[in-house]
Structure 1
Amino acid sequence: METSAQVGRGERRRKGSLTIFAGYFSGTGKTYRMLEAAGRAVRAGEDVAVGLLSCSQWPQTQILADGFETLPLKAFSEAGKTVYELDVDACLKRGPRLLLIDELSHENAGGSRHRKRCQDIEELLQAGIDIYTTLDVQHIESIQDTVSEILGAPAEERIPDRVFDQAARVEFVDCEPEDLRERLIRQDRTDLLSEYSQPKLSALRELALRRCADRTALDTQKSRGGERYRTREHVLVCLSAAPSNERVIRTAARMADAFRCGFTALFVETKNFQSIPQPDRNRLRANLRLAQQLGASVETVYGDDVAYQIAEFSRLSGVTKIVLGRGETSNRILFWKPSLTERLVELTPELDIHIIPDTGTARRFASHYKKELYAPAVPLLDLLKSTLLLVLSTLVGLIFYYLGLSEANIITVYILGVMLTSIFTKSAVCSFLNSVVGVLAFNFFFTEPRFSLHIYASDYMVTFLVMFLASLLTGSLAAKLKSLAKHSAQLAWRTKLLFETNQELQKAGTQDEILSVTARQLLKIFQRDIVTYRSDQGQLDAPKIFPVDDAFSESKYSAASEHQAAQWVLTNNKRAGAGTETFSDACCTYLAVRTAEQVYGVIGVAASGEEMDSFEGGLLLSILGECALAMENQKNLEEKEAAAVLAKNEQLRANLLRSISHDLRTPLTSISGNASNLLSNGDMFDAKTKHQMYVDIYDDAMWLINLVENLLSVSRLEGGQMNLHLSTELIGEVVAEALRHINRRSAEHHLHIQSGDEYLLAQMDAHLIVQVIINIVDNAIKYTPPGSDIEISWERQGRFAALSVADNGPGIPDSAKPRVFDMFYSASNRIADSRRSMGLGLALCKSIITAHGGEITVADHAPHGTVFTFTIPIEEVELHE
């Protein structure tokens, strides 16, 4: 009888189901209701265990929990105290059918495998364990803006919406706010109500009921068999580093959930992205992760015209609704460019644009960002370059002035200087300053009165204005072209790397070589240590480390914790390690080399202290995709080759069985029939008939003996188990020995021996060469009519002795010649006896001659017939006087 643990492990292939007992506040009875449901499961024969419960302060719930098996917890030290968390490994080892775990939204202590308990539960679900858990709905990510409005701050512990929406079942445990307050007072838990008034509890209850209703609507749509999302709607949210962008993302997620449509988060990377402060960069990464948690597909495009990039992406991706935040507005002035919202309305009039007002925090961020925008830090080197170019422009202008050239030529020199400044410097401020200073320098050095900023002619003001605008526009265009050239070079470099990786992967012949090629490419790109693991039947092989330099610690990457993180990636088909919420203390970020659900290996990229940007992340995923595709192709090729070998073996087996069943039955029937007649009716036959019957029995027995010897010889030679006993022999003596064993049917043919060298010596295994001659001559007798001539000859050909057996029979068709030495092949010939066509003799001959280092061939014999020729090495004999 199987134990419960064995049953659990036996069903591990299926994914477990998640049941959530949800409420809006502590004390509504979620855990008690969960234990009641678990009790019904136990009475129904289910294997139930408790992973973790937090009910020690609720006496009635604790009494109910004491009746269940409780699994051990794992202790962690945090802030000088010992805390206990769910032991995932203990749960997996026990493998119950149903596991009870409290507080789905809980965040684990530092050092845990996962950062959040919901991730622990997801791993247990993947292992096939059903989970009962509890949740206060206020901890769901997408409704944190509303929670913050009710409570004054968002919930500290949160879960992604997908965990709640993808649960197999959600049971809402409701309780009126008045009844809840009375229950908490009776249980002496008034500490929970210190900051929660009855209106707040009512608001939380309404929010929880609405969120559960949204999930119910989604379940109803699934049950009707319709698609989950309608393709006619597609929500796009714009990502930024603004603090209010969190609210924008959550609003867009709720909108996508309400419309049951696609959801994309877009970030437009401009040339100023590399210079933004590190806190803003970190905030942008946090917003990107939030969008991923809420189910968005994150995309990145490049360009300085943000509105145009958003509009083009929306047009190509089929976006129908754009959601973005509204920054602080300012009074319009003349020639001021329109805002992002106005540009989007102009470029995408057919789309719905939803503007989410920013909070006061966002406006402070915008104000701070404006200050940085208008007062950016200019590198000293760029200032020196721009100053040098301005001085050179002035010197060239002075030369033009003394040469008598017009002022238009001098103005062109200054415009050229501004353009060169835009090309050779990184900051746009340098171009602007050169435009302004260039106008002033032109006024100072080249207009009357010279060496003064005063001007006599009124038309010079127009000249100065045109010069300034031309310089400014020229510099801006040059800067944009430089930025586009940089992005183009980056994309070209990425394309080149992917193409180079694809070519190198195609040259790899094994799975290990494919992983090594991928690791070397990643090492070249990221300049970080790379660790590779190959998957073998659900387990990882030993790691292979590809270091950047020799100064690396192999033990760091070979530690058990690193292998455990990589094994988790293999099992769960998700990334883990540094920079993630699973095994975050690992030294590397581990990613699966996968196609769909098939994982072929795991690759780790050493952490460098900074997260990869979107370009590096996209490049990494592209290379891993190429690697997975190459490994899949290699696996398919190996499976195809193995299937071909198996098919060939099956064909050989079938041919052998068919030949044995047909060819052995006839001689055995003849032997048994003749023997039976001689035993039963021996006195009725005369001496001549008896003699013929004895001859038939002998011939059939000898044929069977030769067949068995051929089978054994072929199997030994093909398996490399037959050792050659070489000796120096006279060809003539070996041929004479073979003729003494030739089938008696040779009496019906004319055998001729012709030798060019009667004393030709050769190095051979005489017994095997005799068998070769017998097989070839028997083949000639078998496939030629009675009275045919068979000629055996030999001669010296260089270092080999060539022996030929020729006949004047009907010959072998050209189509059959390439296959006559194949095992079990027999050419159709009406002269041959069908029972003697097993097709082993010539195959054995080829194996024996090949083992001797010679060669056997078949050719036509003029004017008709066939000649078989084989060669064996000769033995030189030294004569001494």
Structure 2
Amino acid sequence: MHAPALSDQVARKAPGKLTIFASYFCGAGKRHAMLEAARAAKREGQDVVIGLLSFDAWPSDPPLAEDFETVHCKTVAQDGHTESELDLDACIKRRPQLILIEDLSHTNIDGSRHRKRCQDIEELLKAGIDVYTTLDVQHIESIQDTVFSILGFSTSERIPDHVFDRASRVEFIDIEPERLQQRLLEQKKVQLLSRYSLSQLSALRELALRRCADRVALYTQSGQNGTGYRSHEHILVCLSSSPSNEKIIRTAARMASAFKCELTALFVETKDFQWMSPPDKERLRANIHLAQQLGASVETVYGDDVAYQISEFSHLSGVTKIVLGRSGFPSRPWFHKASLTDRLIDLTPELDIHIIPDNGMNHLLSTRYRETVHLPSLSLLDLFKSAVILVSTTLIGFLFYELGFTDANIIALYLLGVLLVSVSTKSSICSFFAAVFSVLTFNFCFTNPRFSLHVYESGYPVTFLVMFLVSLLTGSLASKLKSHAKRSAQVAWRTKLLFETNQTLQKARTQEEILSVTAKQLLKMFQRDIIVYRIQQEKLTASEIFLMDDTASTDRYTSEKEREVAQWVVTNNKRAGAGTETFSDSRCTYLSVRKGDQVYAVVGIATSDNPLDSFETSVLLSVLGECALALESQKNLEEKEAAAVLAKNEQLRANLLRSISHDLRTPLTSISGNASNLLSNGDLFDDKTKKQMYTDIYDDAMWLINLVENLLSVSRLEEGRMNLHMSTELVDEVVAEALRHINRKSVEYHLHVQNSDEYLLAQIDAKLIVQVLINIIDNAIKYTPPGSDITIEWNRKGDFIYISVADNGPGIPDQAKPHVFEMFYTVSNQIVDSRRSMGLGLALCKSIVNAHGGEITVTDHLPHGSVFTFSVPAGEVELHE
């Protein structure tokens, strides 16, 4: 099977609509009605195909089906004969507008992608394909108890109620029971007809009509968008391994549907849970799955007092109604004890308690149920421990007797022995036998006549009875305390791991780290192999496997089939694999790490040999929920950082446009004005005036060229696109080159170059450092009055050459010094607003110097003025002789 690969190709579109043609019994004509409706849809121009239909002696149907194309079906061998199954991949690949599929409640054969055909149809609906299907209403899950009471048996092929209730349209095909019997007789279905009486068919019809009416009422109240009101009621149903618990769950589900309220299924795990037989555990798992299927949230609590645990949970959860079943075991007056119902009434007088009778179901199953009751096992190790403790106690008792100790001391010694047996063994039977053995041994060895079970004193029988009861009671209490301590330790350990998981996830910074932390915590918590798939663009990346045994092979988890299951989870955002009804033959249960519809990863946990119980499942979902929150936070942080960078870039762009629109206008106006005057009135100007106009045009053009060069350089540096062409250069030559390209107004200033006593070499990109010097010197010319002194000097300190440009102008205020190297900042107008002061020069200098690994600073030049100093790496010349 390559289902997920095909599912990946499904385009994101609105889900398809499900139309169910329902009836109360086969032969009512639902398939014929479906084909007639499909023919009408085809006449309207829809692309209609047949996915799977079977024509078993209904002669009116095959001619109708000839009008439609049939999608290829899979033929699979099963128990010596072949069966046709829906080819889900072929249907998705064909992608019709409408597909016809018979028998919504059908159970697929082993090895299919889904266990039930209704799940196949759900996947087709999600792919955007409309579906017409048929259904006998008696196959709906919640009414199986009523079906049992009518027919004497329940059908094995069932659908969850939500599939029926959420269908876009249900068309009920009704027919009178008498007419149905006649039709079955005409089609020679005598064997089918003989199995059901007219009264049974009438009862099924009534049940089906009532269920369809309930759906109409639900649809009307919930509205077209499916968001119906929810009452303040909260129903609690109790879970157990009893065969009749299925009926109780279904009844509670129907009550929750009628009240439009929340339904919670509660399982109280007592100390006897560890002795529950495999069939009982399997039945309990089935009941939990049924409750989940009917929309209940399953919760587990721990304690031996079941009534108290139910009442406490009800008070804390706001439960208003409790649904219980009637016990199938006869009461024993000599061991009279208040029933669960009586205790709940005493503990929760404000709640409504509903007792559901079994209507004969428990009577039919009670014998088999009692046969499967599993008594606590008695291991040889427990017997050996008990024997050693009791023999040791008896030997010490002989010592006490010889030393003249009283009977009270020896009795206390035996009580201690019973306590030790209870604490050191796992089976409660050992405590009981230890109490019996202690009484008999004390009577036999230490009462007169000794070594006989006879006693002379009349008070000893009472002593023996009290000793037996005290021993039994202390042993039972010790066993319960041990059980509670063990359970508390397990809960505390898992709670600690959950807190630890939360704290560790908060420290994780990347998606890989978050998923790794989650997998390691799950490995520690469940002691099972864990597989993690990250997701990129709705595709799985390479798996990361965390094994309990590091030396074990990972091949069983890396097969193509296991990867297909994980990909199906990504595509459908549902759990799949072992323990589910989708790809149930895989080795792991795969769950999505998701937040809403966003799937971040898929986590697989090895469960093929040992399924997770309800508590483990709830813990797993909690951890994956924490993981999803951490991944969501990490994603939001990345988006926030990206938004901040984008906002900064937008601000820079706005400042740039604002500056250019203002500052470029002045030199461009000057250039165009001077050029226009020269063209129009050039003959009227003398040579001096013309030269001044040419000079102005040249200066303005050079300023624009320098501006554009700075903008391009800043852009390349900010985007990381500027490559440094490093070479070893003489600092003297770099400074001299810069002085040849500075502002023409430098003639109005006193420039001083103080050469070092030695030739200094620097490892630099000469062109860029020249640009740095030009910008700093032009900046000094711009902000100091004519006639000011500008001094350029350099020297070496360690591995760097320090070059400084000092002036004796008005200087820079202290509050402005931290900002002078920011883009679009000028000392005179902070945000640039005047000609020829865009604030790019020093920002570009800082970027170039930092790219060389140096620093640039500004300090005061006493008594007044400023000093700009930057450093570049020193260079060395290698001589090769």
TM-score exceeds 0.5: yes
Aligned-residue offset at 1:879:
12
Distance across 2 between alignment mates of 1:542 and 1:877:
51
Q: Which residue of 2 aligns with 1:464?
A: 464
Change (3 A) 1:748 1:586: same
Change (3 A) 1:144 1:879: closer
User: Which SS does the other structure have where 1:157 is aligned?
Assistant: coil
Percentage of identical aligned residues: 68
Q: Which residue of 2 aligns with 1:721?
A: 722
Match status 1:839 vs 2:839: yes
User: Which SS does the other structure have where 1:72 is aligned?
Assistant: coil
For residues 343-377 of structure 1, the C-alpha deviation after alignment (integer angstroms, 9 at most, x for no partner) is 22332223222223347674586567768879643
The number of residues matched between the two structures is 872
Match status 1:662 vs 2:680: no
Q: Which amino acid aligns with 1:276?
A: M
- Is the CA contact (8 Å cut-off) linking 2:18 and 2:131 kept in structure 1? yes
Q: Which amino acid aligns with 1:616?
A: E
Q: Which residue of 2 aligns with 1:5?
A: none
For residues 740-776 of structure 1, the C-alpha deviation after alignment (integer angstroms, 9 at most, x for no partner) is 3221222333333334536444344433322221110
Distance across 2 between alignment mates of 1:737 and 1:548:
69
Q: Which residue of 1 aligns with 2:308?
A: 308
- Is the CA contact (8 Å cut-off) linking 1:666 and 1:835 kept in structure 2? yes
- Is the CA contact (8 Å cut-off) linking 2:792 and 2:805 kept in structure 1? yes
Q: Which amino acid aligns with 1:430?
A: C
Q: Which residue of 1 aligns with 2:397?
A: 397
**Worse overlay, 454-463 or 133-142:** 454-463
Q: Which amino acid aligns with 2:98?
A: L
Match status 1:143 vs 2:134: no
Change (3 A) 1:148 1:475: same
Distance across 2 between alignment mates of 1:154 and 1:370:
22
Match status 1:744 vs 2:744: yes
Change (3 A) 1:38 1:609: same
Change (3 A) 1:691 1:10: farther
- Is the CA contact (8 Å cut-off) linking 1:783 and 1:832 kept in structure 2? no
Q: Which residue of 2 aligns with 1:86?
A: 86
Q: Which residue of 1 aligns with 2:603?
A: 603
For 1:812-823, list aligned pairs within 5 A. 812-823=812-823
- Is the CA contact (8 Å cut-off) linking 1:590 and 1:603 kept in structure 2? yes
For 1:610-629, list aligned pairs within 5 A. 610-629=610-629
User: Which SS does the other structure have where 2:821 is aligned?
Assistant: coil
Change (3 A) 1:825 1:100: farther
For 1:182-197, list aligned pairs within 5 A. 182-197=182-197
For 1:351-430, list aligned pairs within 5 A. 351-358=351-358, 362=362, 376-430=376-430
Match status 1:282 vs 2:288: no
Q: Which amino acid aligns with 1:377?
A: S
Q: Which residue of 2 aligns with 1:446?
A: 446
- Is the CA contact (8 Å cut-off) linking 1:785 and 1:831 kept in structure 2? no
Q: Which residue of 1 aligns with 2:481?
A: 481
For 1:771-850, list aligned pairs within 5 A. 771-829=771-829, 834-850=834-850
User: Which SS does the other structure have where 1:16 is aligned?
Assistant: coil
Change (3 A) 1:873 1:287: closer
Q: Which has the higher contact order (CA 8 A, sep 6+)?
A: 2
Distance across 2 between alignment mates of 1:18 and 1:11:
19
Q: Which amino acid aligns with 1:742?
A: I
**Worse overlay, 404-413 or 488-497:** 404-413
Distance across 2 between alignment mates of 1:689 and 1:676:
14
Distance across 2 between alignment mates of 1:495 and 1:178:
63
Distance across 2 between alignment mates of 1:402 and 1:294:
70
Distance across 1 between alignment mates of 2:218 and 2:380:
59
Q: Which residue of 2 aligns with 1:3?
A: none
Distance across 1 between alignment mates of 2:326 and 2:751:
107
- Is the CA contact (8 Å cut-off) linking 1:783 and 1:829 kept in structure 2? no
Q: Which residue of 2 aligns with 1:532?
A: 532
Structure 2 unpaired stretches of 5+: 1-7
For 1:552-567, list aligned pairs within 5 A. 554-567=554-567
- Is the CA contact (8 Å cut-off) linking 2:579 and 2:608 kept in structure 1? no
Q: Which residue of 2 aligns with 1:546?
A: 546
Change (3 A) 1:388 1:148: same
Q: Which residue of 1 aligns with 2:258?
A: 258
Change (3 A) 1:744 1:831: farther
User: Which SS does the other structure have where 1:706 is aligned?
Assistant: helix
- Is the CA contact (8 Å cut-off) linking 2:385 and 2:425 kept in structure 1? yes
User: Which SS does the other structure have where 2:754 is aligned?
Assistant: strand
Aligned-residue offset at 1:107:
1.3
Q: Which residue of 2 aligns with 1:634?
A: 634
Aligned-residue offset at 1:26:
1.5
Distance across 2 between alignment mates of 1:765 and 1:235:
78
Q: Which amino acid aligns with 1:74?
A: K
- Is the CA contact (8 Å cut-off) linking 1:806 and 1:861 kept in structure 2? yes
Aligned-residue offset at 1:72:
2.1
User: Which SS does the other structure have where 2:664 is aligned?
Assistant: helix
- Is the CA contact (8 Å cut-off) linking 2:55 and 2:62 kept in structure 1? yes
Q: Which amino acid aligns with 1:213?
A: A
- Is the CA contact (8 Å cut-off) linking 1:732 and 1:758 kept in structure 2? no
Match status 1:704 vs 2:704: yes
Aligned-residue offset at 1:12:
4.2
Distance across 2 between alignment mates of 1:831 and 1:851:
26
Q: Which amino acid aligns with 2:643?
A: A
Aligned-residue offset at 1:306:
1.6
Structure 2 length-normalised TM: 0.93
Aligned-residue offset at 1:589:
1.4
- Is the CA contact (8 Å cut-off) linking 2:670 and 2:697 kept in structure 1? yes
Distance across 2 between alignment mates of 1:364 and 1:394:
50
User: Which SS does the other structure have where 1:300 is aligned?
Assistant: strand
- Is the CA contact (8 Å cut-off) linking 2:105 and 2:116 kept in structure 1? yes
Change (3 A) 1:810 1:56: farther
Distance across 2 between alignment mates of 1:398 and 1:216:
82
Match status 1:862 vs 2:857: no
User: Which SS does the other structure have where 1:839 is aligned?
Assistant: coil
Q: Which residue of 2 aligns with 1:688?
A: 688
Q: Which amino acid aligns with 2:725?
A: L
Q: Which residue of 1 aligns with 2:33?
A: 33
User: Which SS does the other structure have where 2:705 is aligned?
Assistant: helix
Distance across 2 between alignment mates of 1:478 and 1:660:
87
Q: Which amino acid aligns with 2:487?
A: H
Distance across 2 between alignment mates of 1:642 and 1:542:
27
For residues 195-244 of structure 1, the C-alpha deviation after alignment (integer angstroms, 9 at most, x for no partner) is 12222211111111111111122122223999746443222222222222
- Is the CA contact (8 Å cut-off) linking 1:268 and 1:306 kept in structure 2? yes
Distance across 2 between alignment mates of 1:800 and 1:551:
55
Structure 1 unpaired stretches of 5+: 1-7
User: Which SS does the other structure have where 2:271 is aligned?
Assistant: coil
Distance across 1 between alignment mates of 2:721 and 2:575:
49
Change (3 A) 1:584 1:330: closer
Q: Which amino acid aligns with 1:145?
A: D
For residues 315-362 of structure 1, the C-alpha deviation after alignment (integer angstroms, 9 at most, x for no partner) is 222222222222244454445332323322332223222223347674
Change (3 A) 1:437 1:11: closer
Q: Which residue of 2 aligns with 1:232?
A: 232
For residues 655-685 of structure 1, the C-alpha deviation after alignment (integer angstroms, 9 at most, x for no partner) is 3333333322321221111111101111222
Aligned-residue offset at 1:189:
4.1
Aligned-residue offset at 1:83:
1.9
Change (3 A) 1:715 1:254: closer
RMSD between aligned alpha carbons? 2.9
Q: Which amino acid aligns with 1:130?
A: D
Distance across 1 between alignment mates of 2:130 and 2:362:
43
Q: Which residue of 2 aligns with 1:851?
A: 851
Change (3 A) 1:381 1:183: same
Q: Which residue of 2 aligns with 1:734?
A: 734
For residues 586-620 of structure 1, the C-alpha deviation after alignment (integer angstroms, 9 at most, x for no partner) is 22211111123221111122234221222322222
For 1:4-153, list aligned pairs within 5 A. 12-55=12-55, 57-153=57-153
Structure 1 length-normalised TM: 0.93
Change (3 A) 1:661 1:516: same
Change (3 A) 1:333 1:84: closer
Distance across 1 between alignment mates of 2:478 and 2:842:
81
Q: Which residue of 1 aligns with 2:202?
A: 202
